[in-house]
Structure formats: C-alpha cells, structure tokens
C-alpha cells in the first residue's frame, strides 16, 4: 500500500515504515504529525484518485530529526563586466517516518520508531557493561595478588625463552669526532 501525499508544498510517494526528508516543519522531535492532503491511494491494485484529495484518508508520521542538507554553491557572473558573486546555501530539512496510511477515525497503531528501538538497545548494552564493571571491582585485592604470583608452567617456559637483551646506550660522539 502506498499513497501520494502533499507535504509542505511538495508531493511525496510514501509507504508505511518509510523515512523521508521534507522541508523544515514546525514540530518537535518525536511528535506525531497527520497529513490530510492525500492525493492518491493504492491498496491491493485498487487505485483511488482524489479530486483534488481523497476524502477520509490520513497519513500519520513521526518527526525523527531536524537537519541541514548539503551545501549548494550559487555562482553569478556577468562576462566582460568584472562581476562575480559566490554564495553558499544549506536547506533545512525534517526527517519524517511514515507510521500508517489509513482512513480517518481508525485506531492508530502502537508502532515504535526504529530510532527508539536502537536507543533502547544502546541503553541496555550500557547497563550490562556497568554491571560487568562492578563485578570486576568487587574482587578483593588479595586474590589479585595471589593470581599474579602463581604463574602457569607454560608462562614460565615462555619467560625463560626470551632472554633479556641488555643493550648499552650508544656513545655520543663529540663535534670533533664527527668532523673527522
């Protein structure tokens, strides 16, 4: 199922779960938005075209982020006049996730945004790491010293094979010796 919707003066073909960038909307991050200018609906090969909009349909979305687009260079020049102007411009965008396409009055789906799921996973990983660190810190100091004192036979053999190379520092030459 897809729909063609007018958002901020532009038309977008949207599907459920899709993320789109639209011109900056005056909405808080994480807030839900309803788009009621639905121009076309396609549902199971049944196409409904609005005149100018499809009555009774709404597209629900959720604001994920506000950001700026890539820089666009605007260069103006008039030949043989010595006139050159170079300006840059970055357009403001809002990232919107399409939650549902449904008739008006239907109950909204309890859908979690993919970013909310990702942040929940990150928080869970942080809690696990903190728990592991606290387990490591609770070991008494005596057991750590005892573990260091006991060396396995394999470690003793590897220590014997590696001779301690005592290198003498190179003698510094004086300025007279360098000249000769």
**What pLDDT score does 106 carry?**
76
SS (H, E, C) the chain: CEEEEEECCEEEEEECCCEEEEECCCCCCCCEEEECCEEEEEECCEEEECCCCCCCEEEEEEEEEEEEEEEEEEEEEECCCCEEEEEEEEEEEEEEEEEEEEECCCCCCCCCCHHHHHHHHHHHHHHHHHHHHHHHHCCCHHHHHHHHHCCCHHHHHHHHHCCCCCCCCCCCCCHHHHHC
Q: How many residues does the chain have?
A: 180
Per-residue pLDDT tens for 154-173?
A: 555 555 555 555 555 666 66
CB neighbour class for 19 (10 Å; exposed up to 12, middle 13-18, buried from 19): middle
**What pLDDT score does 150 carry?**
58
Do 56 and 104 contact (CB within 8 A), yes or no? yes
Sign of CA dihedral 132, 135, 140, 143: negative
Per-residue pLDDT tens for 53-69?
A: 999 899 999 999 999 99
Q: What is the pTM of this model?
A: 0.55
- Domain extents in the chain: 2-108, 112-146
Do 159 and 152 contact (CB within 8 A), yes or no? no
Per-residue pLDDT tens for 76-106?
A: 999 999 999 999 999 999 999 999 999 887 7
Per-residue pLDDT tens for 4-34?
A: 999 999 999 999 999 999 999 999 999 999 9
Q: Report the half-sphere exposure of 126 (CA within 13 A, side-chain side).
A: 6
Per-residue pLDDT tens for 105-159?
A: 777 655 554 555 555 566 666 666 766 666 666 555 555 555 555 556 555 555 5
- On the question of pLDDT at 70 being above 70, the answer is yes
CB atoms within 10 A of CB 94: 22
């Amino acid at each position: 199922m897809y729909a063609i919707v007018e958002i901020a003066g532009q038309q977008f073909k949207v599907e459920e779960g899709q993320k789109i960038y639209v011109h900056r909307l005056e909405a808080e991050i994480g807030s839900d938005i309803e788009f009621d200018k639905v121009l076309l609906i396609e549902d199971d090969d049944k196409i409904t075209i609005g005149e100018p909009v499809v009555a009774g349909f709404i597209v629900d979305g959720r604001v994920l982020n506000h950001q700026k687009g890539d820089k666009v260079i605007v260069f103006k020049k008039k030949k043989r006049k010595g006139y050159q102007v170079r300006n840059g411009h970055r357009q403001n965008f809002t990232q919107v996730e399409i939650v549902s396409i449904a008739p008006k009055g239907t109950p909204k789906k309890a859908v979690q945004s993919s970013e909310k799921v990702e942040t929940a996973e990150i928080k869970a990983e942080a809690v696990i790491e903190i728990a592991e660190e606290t387990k490591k810190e609770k070991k008494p100091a005596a057991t750590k010293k005892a573990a260091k004192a006991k060396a396995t036979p394999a470690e003793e053999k590897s220590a014997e094979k590696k001779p301690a190379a005592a290198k003498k520092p190179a003698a510094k030459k004086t300025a007279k010796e360098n000249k000769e």
